[in-house]
Amino acid sequence: MGTSVSRSDFTWTYTDEPHLTRRKEMLKKYPELKRLMGHDTTIVWIMFCMVVTQILTAWCLKNESWMTICVVAYCFGGVVNHGMSLAIHEVGHNLAFGHGRLMWNRIVGFMGNVIIGVPISISFRRYHQDHHRYQGEQSLDPDLPSEWEGYFFRNTLLKFIWMLLQPFFYAFRPMLRRPKSPTRLEGINYVVQIIFNAIIIYFFSFKAYVYLILGTVTTMGVHPLAGHFISEHYLFKEGHETYSYYGPYNYIAFNVGYHMEHHDFPNIPGSRLPLVSKIAPEYYSDLPRHDSLGMVVWKFIFESSFGPYARYKRQDSMDPKNLDAWEKHKYKSG
């Protein structure tokens, strides 16, 4: 079964999440950071090229063996789809067209979503906003592992299984922790995805569809690229709850590795995040960082200090019931 995890609980903290304070302080010292905020339409063309690439690849694989489909999905197609999920993350922050054209951001999200195989664009955006607002809060942060995950996945073998199942935890944990009422845009997201899937299966083959969905699932599990899920907020050094990675993976991941910078300034497009640490180097140069996402996965599985419990956790800043009532009113009123 492997080495047992040494942690028996989350690391509780009784301070507010650090990024809002950092943001205010940095903007006061470096007001030029405001010029980096806004949107970057380049992401739209990149997403379009990714969609075309995956459609052509699915066509080429429509009659190939299952072994070929699995290998190409894990080594290539999943890499593209994983990059697309991070493009959807950018779009979810309205960084493709800005806050003045919100619906254009949603439409681009629908377009990019199709190659992933399952409709995630709108739901991800709704829950991901909570991750930024309530980082580490026990009932409100959808990114925080549940208590039973920390208790059950406590040795090397079980952590390996947890990594395999990570796409399912990532997808269903938020809806189980604090379910939100479906919206019209989520319905549109589902309809667009179902129509695209049907077209792929009818005109290409079922294997072509499996290629798309298999790549999505495998690269979110035990795969070097999935290391960014662990690297971002799992506790690698006491006193730090967000970490950056500055390696080459950022070229195909819309700079999601600049995660400390992203949480400090979620309204700066990924293409400009490297400029944040150049403008304000003293805020980032001494922070712990990751050099390899593959090594992050290795450490999480095999080292006893890591597991689902290796996260900072804080009390809720507000009553989830009051928040639920406010959100229902907001979506009902449009």
* Closest listed residue to residue 22, CA positions, set 262, 283, 315: 283
- Phi-psi region at 64: left, alpha or beta (left = phi > 0; alpha = psi -120 to 50): beta
Is the model's pTM score more than 0.85? Answer: yes
pLDDT confidence of 327, banded at 50, 70, 90? low
pLDDT tens digits, one per residue of 89-134: 999 999 999 888 999 999 999 999 999 999 999 999 999 999 999 9
- Give residue 98's pLDDT: 84
Which pLDDT tens digit goes with each residue over 222-262? 999 999 999 999 999 999 999 999 999 999 999 999 999 99
- Contacts (Cβ under 8 Å, ≥6 apart) of 146: 173, 176, 177, 308
The pLDDT tens digits for 6-36 are 999 999 999 999 999 999 999 999 999 999 9
**What gap in Å lies between CA 8 and CA 198, rounded to an integer?**
46
For residue 240, give the nearest of 283, 281, 280, 288 by alpha carbon: 288
- CA–CA dist 73, 82 (Å, integer): 11
Residue 293 CA to residue 230 CA, distance in Å, equals: 9
Domain boundaries, the chain: 11-328
The 10s digit of each residue's pLDDT in 269-293 is 999 999 999 999 999 999 999 999 9
Res 99: pLDDT: 81
Query: What's the full length of the chain, in residues?
Result: 334
Distance CA 76, CA 192 (A): 24
For residue range 139-188, list pLDDT tens digits in order. 999 999 999 999 999 999 999 999 999 999 999 999 888 888 899 999 99
> What pLDDT score does 333 carry?
42
Q: What's the CA gap between 10 and 270, in Å, rounded?
A: 30
Q: In angstroms, how far is CA 163 from the centroid of its own chain?
A: 15
- Pairing relationship of beta strands 312-313 and 289-290 according to DSSP bridges: unpaired
Three-state SS for 134?
coil
* CA 124 to chain CA centroid, nearest Å: 8
Distance separating alpha carbons of residues 237 and 122, to the nearest angstrom: 33
For position 334, what pLDDT does the model report?
40
Cβ proximity of 222 and 155 under 8 Å: no
Residues 6 or more apart from 154 whose CB is under 8 A from it?
Answer: 4, 5, 307
Q: In the beta sheet, which residues pair with residue 289?
A: 244
